Structure 1
Amino acid sequence: MENAVLLNAIIENAIDGIITIDDRGLVESINPAACSLFGYTPGEVIGKNISFLMPPPDRTHHDEYIQRYQHTGVPHIIGIGREVKGLRKDGSVFPFMLGVSEVTLSGRKIYAGFIHDLSQQKRAEEQLKDYATHLEEIVDERTFSLQESVEALQNAKEEVSLSLEKEKELSQLKSRFVSMASHEFRTPLSAIQLSASLIDKYAQPFKSEHIAKHVGKIKNAVGNLTTILNDFLSLEKLEAGRVEPSFAPFDLVKLSEEITEEMQMVAKQNQHIIYQHTGKESVVTLDQNLLKNCIFNLIANAIKYSGENTFIEFNTEITGNAITIVVKDNGIGIPEKDQKHLFEPFFRAHNTGSIPGTGLGLNIVARYTHLMNGSVDFKSIVNQGTSFTILFKRHE
């Protein structure tokens, strides 16, 4: 008796709805939670066929399920985790998760349905879907805006190259541009980058592919713009004579391994950077920051102008009289007619197509190398690849 009272109390106070029916589909009991979900009183439900709580087409199919059960002895569904729809007294339809258990009582079979309302979850899913759609629109707008900025910078570069006749005028114009870029672009770019990272973080619980895809677009666009700004700032400092090498001993192998690890993270799919050092020595005396910038530029170009599933060779060698750094790829190569212009500022080979770039990276590499009393050379064949070599002579 005490167990029956306890069981009844549990059913009456359950958060989820519980309905029991006989093998003909007639309702025998309904708890308060189920009454609240469907909007009926117990008297309006008990004795009626459970199908009246179902919207079409489930209602029309229900009798077929009952007939099938009476002939086969196998119920339509026993178990947990089926999502179905219910019909309220006011005519509205709501989703719920249905679990059905078969119980044998006094020689007859009774089926207990456990009803968990999914209305709030579905509303949240719809809100998330609307949010994702809205976010996609925002991302598209931001991406378009960033693309316009990149195109504006590219156009500005072409105008500078074509219209300026005197070095003084070019220097003045670049100074104004660098000042504008530093103040007008860096602050919003940082805000966009931070916002994209926060969106990525807060959207992780939703596991939305759309959000991840468009956040990735924002980060890539910001990265391209940041590279452009850095190239222009580096060029401006070089031409203003504000770059002075600071020579100090450091471990070239350790630096190269760090660069390899960092650049591998931004490599294309199945693109592998293979680093190898030759020589017993590893310590050199150069400007570590300038050299790091040079190697970064060369490996970044190798990644950019090589395809997926390729290898990029990165080698360093220290001998008694020289320090040699080689970066080799098997990418698109450089047309022979363009090779004599390769280290000129703003120059880009004619086969680069839509691959983004400023045409400043190799010019900066050459000038940084020369500041450290070194030289840079290359060999290239179209569609076979390019090899860049930086050489520093050692003086005892």
Structure 2
Amino acid sequence: MENAALLNAIIKNAIDGIITISDRGIIESINPAGCNLFGYQPEEVIGENISILMPAPYKAEHDGYLDRYQRTGEAHIIGTGREVIGLKKNGDKFPFRLAVSEVQYSGRKIYTGFIHDLSRQKEAEEQLKEYAAHLEEQVEERTQSLTETVHALQQAKEEVSLSLEKEKELGQLKSRFVSMASHEFRTPLSAIQLSASLIDKYSQPFENDHIGKHVVKIKNAVGNLTTILNDFLSLEKLEAGKVEPSFTSFDLVKFSEEITEEMQMMAKQNQNIIYQHTGIQSIINLDQNLLKNIIINLVANAIKYSGENTFIEFNTEIGDNICILTVKDDGIGIPENDQKHLFEAFFRAHNIGNIPGTGLGLNIVARYTMLMNGKINFKSNVNQGTLFTLSFPI
């Protein structure tokens, strides 16, 4: 009895449809999933011929399978690849995969069919065909839309920068902008990033270079927008006093080597990040998250503002009661007239051209450094590079 109850519960709660028919093709039972698939109540199909659930020519084919099964004893297990079309009560047709097997029950043979709905799979296949046919056009449209969004966001940032006359107004405007950016940009950016990844995945069988090129454009544009949003969110947290350093002991050398490896993947062609540590001591007590953000910002700037085939030097040193960190590049440098404004929010040097950015990175670096009681200094010459030096008491 327990086994029968268990079997009945499994059949009743199965995701796929399960149906039993007699050796004459008469439906003897159908589970709830099967009823939902075909749109019938159990009493409407039990006692009817299986043909009620199949349109032509699948009815004739199924009758042939059943007849051969009775004559030869060889089952036609449709689940191994045979697909058929089902007929719903309302006349709609839908594809499904059917596996049929013989069951000995109460001294007679009955046949059990397992029905797996293929509607969603077929819809997905059809959509994929449509995506492939119109993929390049969609990518162009999305790229154009994303470019306009980047331009609009850049204009919004510039307008905010120009309108900030007082500290109180600055906080209010940034709060409103960050709130808007979080809700209005993050969700569509995530959707665009996911769509780009899916397009890249679905387009692989077609080996179309144009598709790959535009997918890269989308991902790069999304990356730029995400960086802008992250900068604004970090600044807002700092302004609101929500950033509190959490000092822990950790291995600075291992920590720095991991960041160097991570940033090397972002470097331009033949750009090399060289990391070196001075001193026998490697354990320090600082906030790992804040320090990582500082290093990533400085190294990312070195990558961004330096050309290909260049070296970026990243050094750490632990001495008596002090930890020194330096990042040096051979990039475009900072004009002398701009250097006094370098750590101001939204400020960007006049020689950066079309290189993307928010003008917030170094402001965040300076403030994170101060939160850990550190100091930051720099030396820079146009077209000769920049050296940042940070020192932390330990």
**Shared fold by TM > 0.5?**
yes
TM-score bracket, shorter-length normalisation: 0.5 to 0.7
- In the alignment, the residues of structure 2 paired with residue 161 and residue 186 of structure 1 have an alpha-carbon distance, to the nearest angstrom, of 22
* SS across alignment from 2:355: coil
Matched, 1:275 2:275: yes
Q: Deviations over 1:114-171 (max 9, x none)?
A: xxxxxxxxxxxxxx99966732222222222222222222222222222232222221
Alignment match, 2:299:
299
Q: CA deviation at 1:201?
A: 1.9
How many residues in Structure 1 have an aligned counterpart in Structure 2? 268
C-alpha distance in 1 between matches for 2:301 and 2:365: 12
Aligned residue identity for 1:237: K
1:189 maps to 189
1:285 paired with 2:285, answer yes
Task: Tell me the CA shift for residue 297 of structure 1.
Answer: 0.3
Aligned-pair distance for 1:207? 2.4
Alpha-carbon displacement from aligned partner over 1:248-306 (angstroms, at most 9, x marks no partner): 11111111111111111111111111111111111111000000000000010001001
Partner of 2:166: 166
Name the CA distance, whole Å, in 2 between partners of 1:195 and 1:183.
19
Shift of 1:208: 2.0
Task: Determine which structure has more spread, i.e. the larger CA radius of gyration.
Answer: 1
Secondary structure of the residue that 1:316 maps to in structure 2? strand
Match of 1:216 in 2: 216
Alpha-carbon displacement from aligned partner over 1:6-59 (angstroms, at most 9, x marks no partner): xxxxxxxxxxxxxxxxxxxxxxxxxxxxxxxxxxxxxxxxxxxxxxxxxxxxxx
Query: Which residue in 2 is equivalent to 1:49?
Result: none
Change (3 A) 1:181 1:255: same
Q: Cα offset for 1:357?
A: 0.3
Q: Is the 8 A contact 1:379 1:387 kept in 2?
A: yes
Match of 2:247 in 1: 247
Residue aligning to 2:157: 157
- CA distance in 1 between partners of 2:135 and 2:321 (Å): 58
Question: Which string of whole-angstrom CA distances, capped at 9 and with x for unpartnered residues, describes residues 169-217 of structure 1?
Answer: 2211111111111111111111111111122222223322111111111
Amino acid across the alignment from 2:179: S
- Match of 1:332? 332
Once residues 259 and 155 of structure 1 are traced to their aligned partners in structure 2, the CA distance between those partners, rounded to angstroms, is 33
Q: State the partner residue of 2:388.
A: 388
1:74 paired residue number = none
Aligned-residue CA RMSD in angstroms? 1.8
- Asked if 1:263 corresponds to 2:269, the answer is no
Task: Using the TM superposition, give the Cα deviation of residue 245 of structure 1 relative to its aligned residue in structure 2, in angstroms.
Answer: 0.5
1:1-396 to 2 correspondence within 5 Å?
A: 134-394=134-394
TM-score (norm 1): 0.65
Once residues 136 and 384 of structure 2 are traced to their aligned partners in structure 1, the CA distance between those partners, rounded to angstroms, is 40
Contact persistence 1:321–1:393 (CA under 8 A): yes
Letter in 2 for 1:348: R
TM-score, structure 2 as length reference: 0.65
Indicate how the Cα distance of structure 1 residues 133 and 317 shifts in structure 2: closer, same or farther if over 3 A, else same.
farther
Structure 1 spans left out of the alignment, 5+ residues: 1-127
Return the letter of the residue paired with 2:200: D
Are the aligned partners of 1:277 and 1:317 in contact in 2 as well (CA < 8 Å)?
Answer: yes
Q: Aligned residues: percent identity?
A: 81
Distance 2:355 2:137 in 1: 25
How many angstroms apart in 2 are the aligned matches of 1:275 and 1:223? 26
Shift of 1:360: 0.2
Q: 2:132, 2:203 within 8 Å by CA — same for their partners in 1? A: no
Q: Is the 8 A contact 2:369 2:376 kept in 1?
A: yes
- CA deviation after TM superposition for structure 1 residue 383, in Å: 0.6
Aligned to 2:115: none
Task: Look up the match of 2:109.
Answer: none
Residue type of the partner of 2:318?
I
Runs of 5+ in structure 2 lacking a partner?
1-127
SS in 2 for 1:275: strand
Q: How far, CA to CA, are the matches of 2:335 and 2:136 in structure 1?
A: 40
Instruction: Measure, in 1, the Cα distance between the counterparts of 2:252 and 2:208.
Output: 43
CA distance in 2, matches of 1:160, 1:270: 38
Contact 1:132/1:211 (8 A) holds in 2: no
Structure 1 SS opposite 2:390: strand
- The separation in 2 between residues aligned to 1:391 and 1:268, in whole angstroms, is 28
Paired with 1:247 and 1:183, the residues of 2 have a C-alpha distance of: 32
Give me the whole-angstrom Cα distance separating, in 2, the residues matched to 1:346 and 1:133: 43
Q: Aligned AA for 2:292?
A: K
Letter in 1 for 2:369: T
